[in-house]
DNA sequence: TGCTGTGAAACGGTTCACAGCC
DNA sequence: GGCTGTGAACCGTTTCACAGCA
């Protein structure tokens, strides 16, 4: 079903991306068929959910058999709009920014970093992975020249909003925000936030609580309680 | 309400972490009172949701007035178990791993990177931010010595599962996984996955679709349709 | 009066169970 | 028989509307 204009649930999209990654790996490994069980396990999902997810795009499997790996891969590619080599600019060339320039996960999924911007004059002109870092003032020109529509922000939180405003004014419509601050943008612009500190903190919370009693993490709490002013929980 | 044993909804936990970050910033700026409107806006949430979220931990506000910034900050700290300087080890000292060692968002939220592991013999012994990189074989010893219970994996996907197995066997109960692969762990271990490539791809999808027609991103599609293999710049 | 705290309704997403097809 | 596709039940989350309190 579902050939109308993509009403794909947001949560499903996130998983489709994972399925696609697994399919690509399987195809490279020469595997030609998968069942929903196998694919779901490899992607860390459950089979019923995978089938439900796929049912939002169409019926690409064969009952009693499974899915043809490369066929399903192509279908997901199309639905997700992958394989385009979309140009991306990175604003903020600190440690994280530099790590992302080299990140293989970007290129392997159809993105190409085409520009780097950093406000620090000491960095202007420096070469990173074949790209020349552009100064603050060059942001607008860079975007116009490269035709980038997606930007990654890895600046300090304090300047993230101003950078955002200039990106949006320059035609950027998608922002991946690593700065630990909320960004306000017009409704036609999409922001996705990734806060690495938050991720760790959320993880730590889930370690503390769900393990029925206190989970092993409380071992550390007790250990550090010797000279702790506050008590946990 | 809710003084029983923390049945805090998972989705709420993620936001509480953000509220806490904003509160910390406000406290540093000398602000002493916030309303749910202000706090929600600063954290990128909506006021009703914020109040609902907070109601899971207790009644820490004053009706008709708002919240006392530092008091609420302390309460969130306690409920989230923050402020403990939890020791964390990073396995895989590539570009991303190095960026995380220096990441201020870790230390500011109560985590301390206490160890680095990398299988590349060329890196063994190298100093990064005052820490000496330990070889593959030293993983177990490092964890025992530092008492770390949380690990960050930034290795290639191919070795992530073996690394995980050894981490778990060494007593690690929380893993932040940056490798683009699903990890299987015993039920007492919590894994949180962050796939940077996926994040970009999900962002790109949301840019393509929701903008009613085709959104500006299709401008790039058309532009690149002139010659299929053409690349920007 | 104004803002918090919260039941209750509405929503979206997940899980279940089985019909449908190979 | 086996595995996909999918309606229907289930569950968690969000939103709403207003009661409760300074």
What is the token pair recorded at A50?
């995978």
Q: What is the per-residue pLDDT for B209?
A: 77
Q: Which chain B positions have a beta carbon within 8 Å of A82's beta carbon?
A: 201, 204
Q: What is the per-residue pLDDT for B7?
A: 81
What is the token pair recorded at B145?
């010595």
Residue predicted with more confidence, B219 or A91: A91
Give nearest nucleotide to B49 (CA–C1'): D14
Largest CA distance in chain A: 63
Between CA B26 and CA B34 the distance in angstroms is 9
Q: CA A6, C1' C20: Å apart?
A: 25
Signed CA dihedral, B17, B21, B22, B24: sign only: positive
Residue ranges in chain A whose pLDDT is less than 70:
1-6, 83, 210-233
Q: What percent of chain B has pLDDT over 90?
A: 84
- DSSP 8-state symbol, A179: S
- CB contact (8 A) between residue B108 and residue A219: no
For residues A78 and A105, the answer to whether their CB atoms sit within 8 Å is: no
Flag whether A46 is marked binding: no
Mean pLDDT of B185-194: 97
Nearest CB to B182: which of A44, A99, A174? A44
Residue predicted with more confidence, B218 or A186: A186
Full set of structural domains in chain A with CATH = 10-80 (1.10.10.10), 86-194 (3.40.50.720)
Q: CA B10, C1' D13: Å apart?
A: 10
The angle, 0 to 180 degrees and rounded to 10, between the axes of the packed helices A69-80 and B196-208 is: 60
For residues A125 and A131, the answer to whether their CB atoms sit within 8 Å is: no
> What is the nearest CA distance from A65 to chain B, expressed in angstroms?
24
Q: Which chain A positions have a beta carbon within 8 Å of B17's beta carbon?
A: 198, 201-202, 205
- CB contact (8 A) between residue B99 and residue A99: yes
Mark the nucleotides of strand C covered by protein, meaning any atom under 7 Å from a CB: 1-8, 12-17, 20-22
Between CA A179 and CA A163 the distance in angstroms is 11
- CB contact (8 A) between residue A190 and residue B208: no
B73 pLDDT above the threshold of 60: yes
Between CA B22 and CA B40 the distance in angstroms is 9
For residues A93 and A123, the answer to whether their CB atoms sit within 8 Å is: yes
Nearest CB to A203: which of B102, B190, B197? B190
Q: CA A81, C1' D3: Å apart?
A: 28
Which residues lie closer than 8 Å to B106 by C-beta, 6 or more apart? A196, A197, A200, B88, B100, B112, B113
Q: What percent of chain B has pLDDT over 70?
A: 87
Q: What is the per-residue pLDDT for A209?
A: 78
Q: What is the per-residue pLDDT for A82?
A: 78
Q: What is the per-residue pLDDT for B140?
A: 98
B3 pLDDT above the threshold of 70: no
Q: What is the per-residue pLDDT for A84?
A: 75
Q: Which chain B positions have a beta carbon within 8 Å of A207's beta carbon?
A: 149-150, 173-174, 190
For residues B137 and B91, the answer to whether their CB atoms sit within 8 Å is: no
Beta bridge mates, B132: B127
Give nearest nucleotide to A66 (CA–C1'): D3
B179 pLDDT above the threshold of 90: yes
Rounded to the nearest angstrom, the gap between the alpha carbon of residue A181 and the centroid of all alpha carbons in its chain is: 17
- CB contact (8 A) between residue A197 and residue B43: no
Between CA A41 and CA A136 the distance in angstroms is 46
- DSSP 8-state symbol, B212: T
Region for residue B2 given its phi and psi (left: phi exceeds 0; alpha: psi -120 to 50; beta: otherwise): left
Confidence of residue B232 (pLDDT cuts 50, 70, 90): very low
B161 pLDDT above the threshold of 90: yes
């Amino acid at each position: 079903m579902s050939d109308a204009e993509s009403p794909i649930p947001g949560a499903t999209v996130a998983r489709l991306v994972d399925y696609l990654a697994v399919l690509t790996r399987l195809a490279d490994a020469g595997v030609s068929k998968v069942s929903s069980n196998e694919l779901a396990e490899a992607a860390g999902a459950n089979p019923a959910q995978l089938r439900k997810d796929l049912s939002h795009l169409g019926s690409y499997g064969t009952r009693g058999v499974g899915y043809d790996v490369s066929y399903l891969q192509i279908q997901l590619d199309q639905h997700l709009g992958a394989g385009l080599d979309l140009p991306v600019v990175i604003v903020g060339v600190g440690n994280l920014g530099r790590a992302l320039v080299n990140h293989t996960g970007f290129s392997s999924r159809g993105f190409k970093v085409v520009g780097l911007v950093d406000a620090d004059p000491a960095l202007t002109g420096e070469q990173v992975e074949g790209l020349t870092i552009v100064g603050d003032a060059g942001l607008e020109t860079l975007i116009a020249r490269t035709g980038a529509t997606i930007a990654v922000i890895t600046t300090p939180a304090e300047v993230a909003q101003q950078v955002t405003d200039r990106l949006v004014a320059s035609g950027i419509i998608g922002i991946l925000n690593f700065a630990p601050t909320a960004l306000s943008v017009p409704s036609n612009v999409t922001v996705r936030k990734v806060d690495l500190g938050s991720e760790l903190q959320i993880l730590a919370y889930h370690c503390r609580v769900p393990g029925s009693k206190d989970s092993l993490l409380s071992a550390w709490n007790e250990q550090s309680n010797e000279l702790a002013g506050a008590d946990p929980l």
